[in-house]
């Protein structure tokens, strides 16, 4: 049995492996783009503190609403949300997983109609 001389290397399997690894890296990598311009802001002696409220709104599995740990009806919650600034204030919405969906939709629909921009839905 005679052996042939090894003078050529088949690189096709190597290219396949590299492409598969590239696809895995691209599929699992998270690409976060930060669209802010970095500037060093000057300081002023008449600094005004921004009044930003962080409100926690919770709905339990019976449909009871809690506005900053205070049990309230939906109408009172809507009234208190109406007193907030929709552009500044941050609202964290906590909903039990067994809560009927319409309780969640009632609150989200009201906040959308008032133009709230900073809403976070808290999950595990």
Q: How much is the pLDDT for 119?
A: 85
pLDDT (tens digit, 0 to 9) for every residue of the chain, 124 residues total?
A: 677 777 777 888 889 999 999 988 887 776 655 555 555 556 666 655 556 678 888 888 888 888 888 888 889 988 988 888 888 888 888 888 888 888 888 898 988 888 888 888 887 6
Thinking of the domain 54-122, which architecture would CATH place it in? 2-Layer Sandwich (3.30)
Q: Are 61 and 99 in contact (CB under 8 A)?
A: yes
Listed residue (48, 67, 51, 112) closest to 86, CA to CA: 112
Q: Domain limits of the chain? A: 54-122
Q: How much is the pLDDT for 95?
A: 86
Phi, psi of 120 (to 5 degrees): -120, 130
Q: How much is the pLDDT for 85?
A: 82
Contacts of 116 (CB under 8 A, 6+ apart): 81, 84, 86, 89, 91
């Amino acid at each position: 049995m005679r052996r042939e001389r090894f003078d050529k290397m088949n690189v096709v399997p190597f290219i396949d492996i590299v492409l598969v690894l590239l696809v895995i890296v691209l599929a699992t990598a998270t690409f976060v783009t930060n669209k802010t311009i970095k500037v060093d802001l000057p300081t002023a002696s008449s600094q005004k503190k921004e009044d930003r409220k962080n409100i926690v709104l919770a709905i339990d599995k019976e449909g009871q609403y809690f506005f900053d740990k205070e049990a309230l009806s939906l109408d009172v919650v809507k009234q208190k949300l109406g007193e907030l600034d929709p552009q500044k204030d941050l609202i964290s919405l906590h909903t039990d997983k067994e809560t009927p969906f319409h309780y969640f939709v009632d609150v989200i629909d009201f906040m959308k109609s008032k133009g709230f921009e900073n809403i976070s839905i808290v999950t595990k």
